[in-house]
A and B are shown apart, each in its own frame.
Chain A
Amino acid sequence: MASEFLRVDNLTKSFGTNTVVKGVSFAFEKGEFISLLGPSGCGKTTILRMIAGFENPTSGSITVDGNDITHLKPNQRQLGMVFQAYALFPNLNVGDNIGFGLKIAGMPTEERRARVADMLKLIGLPGFEKRYPYEMSGGQQQRVALARAIAPRPRMLLLDEPLSALDAKIRVSLREEIRAIQLDLGITTVFVTHDQEEALSISDRIVVMNAGNIEQLGAPHEIYNKPATRFVATFVGQLNTIEAVVSDVAAKKVTIDGQTVSLHTLPDNAKAGAGISLTLRPEVLTVGARADNDISLTGTISDVTFLGSVIRLRVALGTNIVSLDTFNDQRTAPPVRGEPVTISLASKDLLVLAA
């Protein structure tokens, strides 16, 4: 097993009476790409800023490669950081921007030039040394910011929502580039984002945060497929929630809008007549019956949204309405609103949460 590289222990941060990070702890291995994911105000950026040294923790500690950096100044931490607003120095050209940290460290001019050229090659902008930031597109500027962050070969790379200011198309291509460069260099990276798709697509592990606490820490597929809490289930990916009533605890039967079905499991404290919430991803639902699906429900199509390769249906089971996606088949007409429909699912795919 690889050794622990970044360790955050019981980290707390309060601004006056407002505690924004509440005793957070996690540890990651060298070379991992970690995403801190959560809504605005969940404390993810504050954690990143404490790792960078821009905020002092109220309590707790941060260790990088066995060294306690909690009370070091940002310029003593040997970390690289990319900011949401690019933060390139407007008075310096691209070469001087990338070489800034190297110059501060006292690297000789020739060696610095060579490193800058290597960095520009790495980010796919060779020969851009003499350009100024204002002469470049947002995507190019952010790649230069990335090169500036990694040029001094920092111990760790911090990314503070680096894609948020970019157009959707550039965002996707740049995130793939960032991941490729990170894998190439093997640099431990902490990435802050509120975009679950970004986090799921490039992370080795994700820390899902809410209201200053960690809700779940795990690999993207674990976070998506086995959300630990209702918050994670609703925040990450699309989720249907079906309100049901327990009808028979022993037989694990519940009633959904008058239709009784058997479940794989029930919450430990389930009682007959009590309400429970069943959650499921849209992709586990199928229109019509399928051999490995053991639950069938009938309803009416309440809405049809054509999305090109996919058609999104909303099916009213009664008071409960669920969404499901079905592939567009050119040879068949799309479903019509108001049509009765049977949907099926496997009970093992349901996430059962106490109401």
Chain B
Amino acid sequence: MKGNRFWAWLVFGIGAAYFLVPLIATFEFSLRMRRGYYSFDSYASVFSDPRFQATFGYSVVIGILAIIVGILVVVPAVYFVRLRMPWLRPFVEFLTLMPLIIPAIILVYGYIRLYNSSSIIPFTGSALGTDILLTCAYVTLALPYMYRAVDTGMRTIDVQTLTEAAQIAGAKTPQIIGRIILPNILVAVLSGAFLTFAIVIGEFTIASLLNRPAFGPYLQNIGANRAYEPAALAIISFIITWGAMGMINVLGRFAPRTSARTD
């Protein structure tokens, strides 16, 4: 028994080191900007850079828009597939896996070919159009995560009976989704939202090829031209992503609870 525990700890230790050593090294390196001292100068430099604020702010806005569009598309889709067309589920699941199979570069080249300034829908002809295209691309990119998060959430509630109970009380479909289904899967939806946010914040390929001032291309640009700031940015990105993941866990505690008691 004791031997087992030793090996378990050893495996855990190796795994933790594999993950933590580069992170600690990056953090340590990010503090070395001032020669001979540890300092947060690289962080100060990053935060005072107007391009950091602009690109980060831009990615946050696009991320929020992607989350809103994602929720508006995915929640009703999952709801109707579960309720009315369960036979369609394998097909929808396959469809939502496509962004994992098709590289982002293929997606963005497809977009550019379809929506260039000389096409019928010239999204890339204006900044606003390209922003819309970028938002749609992020919705697609985050689809596997958003779909699975929402689908898992819906699996925890009896969608059909709750729908019928609301219907017989006089509710229409938008009221059922808005007042009953969505609040009961809110934690799952927020999990999907935070995953979407984490993807959007660090995404480089699509934003770069669509030439938008997003955080990902900024990270790449700094990485290519500076020494200490990229390490600071890597740590900042980690904190943002971990913050988003941590929120998923925290929110899990506030999920509406059901109980099938017989007493």
Contacts and interface: CB of A to CB of B under 8 A. Distances in A.
A36 interface: no
Q: How large is the interface on B (under 10, 10 to 19, 20 to 34, 35 or more residues)?
A: 20 to 34
Interface in A122-155: 132-134, 136-139, 141, 145, 148-149, 152
Interface string B221-263: 0000000000000000000000000000000000011111111
A290 B180 CA distance: 64
B261 A141 contact: yes
B211 interface: no
Given A132-B257, A138-B261, A74 B184 contact: no
Interface string A71-113: 0011101111101011111110000000011001100000000
Most A CB within 10 A of own CB, among B157, B162, B175 = B162
B164 A90 contact: no
A170 B261 CA distance: 12
A89 B163 CA distance: 10
A52 interface: yes
A87 B162 contact: yes
A89 B180 contact: yes
Given A104-B175, A137-B261, A138-B260, A89 B166 contact: yes
Nearest to B172: A75
A117 to B, nearest CB: 18
B260 A74 contact: no
B183 A165 contact: no
Contact of A137 (B166, B186, B263): B263
B262 A138 contact: yes
B170 interface: yes
B169 A87 contact: no
A85 B171 contact: no
A252 B96 CA distance: 76
Nearest to B259: A134
A87 B161 contact: yes
A87 B259 contact: no
B168 A52 contact: yes
A81 B260 contact: no
Given A53-B167, A89-B180, A91-B184, 18 more contacts: A54-B167, A74-B168, A75-B171, A75-B172, A81-B168, A83-B165, A85-B260, A90-B157, A90-B184, A90-B258, A100-B179, A101-B170, A104-B170, A104-B171, A137-B261, A158-B168, A165-B262, A167-B262
Interface of A: 52-54, 73-75, 77-81, 83, 85-91, 100-101, 104-105, 132-134, 136-139, 141, 145, 148-149, 152, 158, 165-167, 170
Interface of B: 157-158, 161-162, 164-172, 175, 179-180, 183-184, 186, 256-263
